[in-house]
Structure 1
Amino acid sequence: MTVISTPQAFNQDDLYVDLEAITGHRLFLKCEGFNFAGSIKLKAASAMVEAAERDGVLTPDSILVESSSGNLGVALSMIAASKGYPFVCVTDSRCNLSARLLMEALGSQIHIVTDPSPGGGLLGARIDHVRALCASDDRYVWLNQYANPNNHMAHYRTTAPAIARAFPDLDVLFVGAGTTGTLMGCARYFRAWHRPVRIVAIDTEGSTTFGRTPSRRMIPGLGTSIRPPLLDTSYVDEVVHVDEPDTIRACHQLARHGFVFGGSTGTVVSGATRWLAEREQPVTAVAIAPDLGERYLETVYQTNWVQDLYGGDALQPRTAAIAGRRTDPDELVPTN
C-alpha cells in the first residue's frame, strides 16, 4: 500500500509499453505521465522548487513565476498549491485549454502572451514578461527551467538510472528536446555508463534548438524558438526532426491500439520509429514518453482542428514507417 501526504510524493517510474506490435520495431516506451501532474515535468518542478527552498531563494513570502507551454505549469501549480505558494504561469496561445483550466483549478494565475518578440518568438515574449514581473516586485521568484541545472539533474538522478536498471543491455535512447532537461540529464548519465548508449534527440520541425530556421509550431511541448542554455550537443549523437502532421499520425496510430498519449510522446515515437526503420541490425531501444493525451483531446485528437491546420492528409495513416528526418552528428551546432 502506498500512502502519501503531498501529490508530488507519488510518481510511477517503472512502466514501459512494448511498441513492437504497433510500430513494427522493437521499441520500449517509458511512460512518465502517471503522477498527479500528468507528465515528466513533475520531476524537474520538484527538483527546482526543493533547491530554491534549500538555497533560501524561495521563502514563505515568495511568488513563484515560470514560463511554460503547459505541462511544467501544471506541475508547478500542483506543487505550489501543496506548499502554499502563489504561482503565476506565463504561457501563450498554444497552451491547451485543459492545461490552463487545470492550473486555474489549482489556484494559479495564468498570463497569456499573444504577440511574439522579434527575435525570440512566443517563447522570447514569455520570458520578457517573466522578467518584467520580477523587476516589478522582488517577491517574484523565477525558477527558469531553461537554464536551471536542477532541471537536468532531476533526470540524471531518477529517469536515467531507472532506465539503466530496467535495460542493462540498452543500445539507444530516444529523448524529446524541449528545455532539454530530460535530454541532458539522461545523456550525461549514460555517457559515464558501463556500455555505450546512442543518444538520439527528437525535435519538432520549426524548432531552433539544433540550429534550424524557426517556423510555425502549433503543438506545445517539444521545440523552442530560443536555444536552451542547458543544451550541450557534445552529449547528443543524432537528432531527428519530425513534422507536426507526423506527430498527429503517430498519436492516432497509438490511440487505435488503446494508448492515448500526448503530442510530445507522438513526436518521440514518430522520430524513433523512423530511426529504427533505417537500421538493419536489431537494437535494444527505449523512448521516453513525457505525457499522456487527455490535454490534447481538443487539438491533436480533434478532427476539425487537425484538418484546419494541416489538411485531411494528417489524419491518414502512412503505409511506411512514421516519418521523421534524421540529422547527422556533424550537422549539430556545438555548445558548451
Structure 2
Amino acid sequence: MPVISAPHAFNEGQLYVDLRSIFGRSLYLKCEGFNFAGSIKLKAAIEMVEAAERQGLLKPDSILIESSSGNLGVALSMIAASKGYRFLCVTDSRCNLSARLLMEALGSEVHVIADLDANGGFLGARIDYVRGLCESDDRYVWLSQYTNPNNWGAHYRRTAPEIARQFPQLDVLFVGAGTTGTLMGCARYFREWHRPVRIVAVDTVGSVAFGGKPGRRMIPGLGMSMRPPLLDESFVDEVIRVEEADTIRTCHRLARHGFLFGGSTGTVVSGAMDWLSRYGSNDLTAVAVAPDLGERYLDTIYQSAWLKDLYGDQILEEDAPEEVTAGSPSAGSRAQRTTNGHRKEYKRQKEYKK
C-alpha cells in the first residue's frame, strides 16, 4: 500500500484496458488519469517544475505562469499548492468549466483569453499574454510547455518505459498530438528500442500541428493552432487526423460500456481503430495512450444541449454499431491519414516484424 506526503508522489502507470470487447479489435489503452491531477500532464508538470527548481529559477516570491487548455493547468495548480508557489494559468474559453474550478479550488488564478489569433485559435493570444506579463514583472516564471525539453523528457523517462515493460513485443503505438511532449518522448524512446515500433500520431481535424488548413476545434486537449516547437516529424511514421464528431461518438460508445474517458482519449481511440481496420491482425500488439478521464467533459461532450448546439441533432444518431468485424472499416470513422516518407507503407504486420 503506497503512503505519500505530496500529491504528485502517486501516479498509477500500469493500468490498461483491452478494448476488444467494445470495438472488436484488440487495443490496449494505457490509462493515465489515475493520479491526483487526473491526467498524464502530471508527469510533464513535475519534471518542468523540478527542473526549474534545480536551475534556481524558482524563488520564494516566484509566480509560476503557464498557458494551458486545462489539464496541465490543473497539474501545475496541484504542484504549486503542494510546494507553496503562486500559479497563474492563462487559458481560453474552450477550457472546461470543471478544470477552471479545480484550478481555483487549488488556490490558483485563472485568466481566460477571448480573442482569436491569426490561425483562428487562441494559443497565439495566450502566449502573447504570458510573454507580456513576464516582461513586466520578473517574478513570473514561465515553464513554456511548448518548448521545454522536460515536457518530452518526462515521457521518455517514464511513460515509454512503462509501456515497454508491459508490452515487450509492442508493434504499434498511438499517441495524441498536442504540444507533442508525450508523442516525442515515446517516439524517441522506441526509436532506440530493441525492435521496430510504428509510431502513429493522432491529431484532430482543424489543427495545424502537422500542416494543413486551420479549422474550428471545440474540444480542448489535442491539436494546435501553430506548429509545435517540440515536434520532430522524423520520429513519426504516420499521422491520422480525426473529426471531432468521431471523437464524440467514440467517447459515448466507451461510456455505454462503463468507461468514461476524455475527449483526447476519444480522438486517439477513434484514430487507432481506423488504422487497425486497415492494417490490424490478430498477432499485432497495439497500445494507445489515454491522457485523461471524462469527468471534466460532463458539461461538454457528455452534455446533450452542448452537442446539439455545436454539432446538430444527429451527432449521436450516426454512432457506430456495437461490433466491428475483422477486416471491416471502423464504423463512423472519417480519419484523414498522412504517412511519413521514411516508411511509405506499413503493408502487413508479418512483413514489418523482425
TM-score when scaled to structure 2? 0.92
Report what 1:308 is aligned to. Answer: 309
Report what 1:143 is aligned to. Answer: 143
Percent identity for Structure 1 against Structure 2: 72
> How far apart, CA to CA, are the structure 2 residues paired with 1:245 and 1:119?
21
1:25 is aligned to 2:14 = no
In the TM superposition, what whole-angstrom CA distance separates every residue of 1:269-301 from its partner, at most 9, and x where no partner exists?
A: 000000000125331000000000000000000
Report what 1:328 is aligned to. Answer: 339
User: Relative to structure 1, is the Cα distance of residues 280 and 117 closer, same or farther in structure 2, using a 3 angstrom cutoff?
Assistant: closer
Q: CA deviation at 1:121?
A: 2.8
In the TM superposition, what whole-angstrom CA distance separates every residue of 1:11-59 from its partner, at most 9, and x where no partner exists?
A: 0000000000111111000000000000000000000000000000111
Report what 2:53 is aligned to. Answer: 53
Number of residue pairs the alignment of both structures matches: 332
Q: Which amino acid aligns with 1:321?
A: A
Q: CA deviation at 1:331?
A: 11
Report what 2:40 is aligned to. Answer: 40
Given that residues 175 and 201 in structure 1 are in contact (C-alpha distance below 8 angstroms), is that contact kept between their aligned partners in structure 2? yes
> How far apart, CA to CA, are the structure 2 residues paired with 1:67 and 1:93?
13
Unaligned runs of 5+ in 2: 322-329, 344-354
Report what 1:299 is aligned to. Answer: 300
Report what 1:318 is aligned to. Answer: 320
In the TM superposition, what whole-angstrom CA distance separates every residue of 1:198-244 from its partner, at most 9, and x where no partner exists?
A: 00000000000000111100000000001110000000000110000
Unaligned runs of 5+ in 1: none
Report what 1:14 is aligned to. Answer: 14
> How far apart, CA to CA, are the structure 2 residues paired with 1:107 and 1:148?
25
> How far apart, CA to CA, are the structure 2 residues paired with 1:12 and 1:120?
37
Q: Which amino acid aligns with 1:39?
A: S
Superposition pairs of residues 236-275 of structure 1, within 5 angstroms: 236-275=236-275
Superposition pairs of residues 159-198 of structure 1, within 5 angstroms: 159-198=159-198
In the TM superposition, what whole-angstrom CA distance separates every residue of 1:43-99 from its partner, at most 9, and x where no partner exists?
A: 000000000000001111110000000000000000000000000000000000000
> How far apart, CA to CA, are the structure 1 residues paired with 2:276 and 2:331?
9
Q: Which amino acid aligns with 1:140?
A: Y
Q: Which amino acid aligns with 2:109?
A: Q
> How far apart, CA to CA, are the structure 2 residues paired with 1:321 and 1:165?
32
> How far apart, CA to CA, are the structure 2 residues paired with 1:128 and 1:285?
39
Report what 2:350 is aligned to. Answer: none
Given that residues 250 and 322 in structure 1 are in contact (C-alpha distance below 8 angstroms), is that contact kept between their aligned partners in structure 2? no
> How far apart, CA to CA, are the structure 1 residues paired with 2:16 and 2:42?
18
> How far apart, CA to CA, are the structure 2 residues paired with 1:106 and 1:252?
30
> How far apart, CA to CA, are the structure 1 residues paired with 2:302 and 2:239?
26
1:117 is aligned to 2:127 = no
In the TM superposition, what whole-angstrom CA distance separates every residue of 1:164-189 from its partner, at most 9, and x where no partner exists?
A: 00000000000000000000000000
Q: Which amino acid aligns with 1:227?
A: R
Superposition pairs of residues 195-214 of structure 1, within 5 angstroms: 195-214=195-214
Given that residues 206 and 213 in structure 2 are in contact (C-alpha distance below 8 angstroms), is that contact kept between their aligned partners in structure 1? yes
In the TM superposition, what whole-angstrom CA distance separates every residue of 1:115-156 from its partner, at most 9, and x where no partner exists?
A: 012257300000000001101100000000000000000000
> How far apart, CA to CA, are the structure 1 residues paired with 2:313 and 2:339?
31
Given that residues 273 and 322 in structure 1 are in contact (C-alpha distance below 8 angstroms), is that contact kept between their aligned partners in structure 2? no
SS of equivalent to 2:25 = coil
Q: Which amino acid aligns with 1:16?
A: Y
SS of equivalent to 1:330 = coil
SS of equivalent to 1:202 = strand
> How far apart, CA to CA, are the structure 1 residues paired with 2:175 and 2:293?
16
> How far apart, CA to CA, are the structure 2 residues paired with 1:189 and 1:242?
25
> How far apart, CA to CA, are the structure 1 residues paired with 2:332 and 2:20?
13
Q: Which amino acid aligns with 1:32?
A: E
Superposition RMSD on alpha carbons, in Å? 1.3
Given that residues 16 and 28 in structure 1 are in contact (C-alpha distance below 8 angstroms), is that contact kept between their aligned partners in structure 2? yes
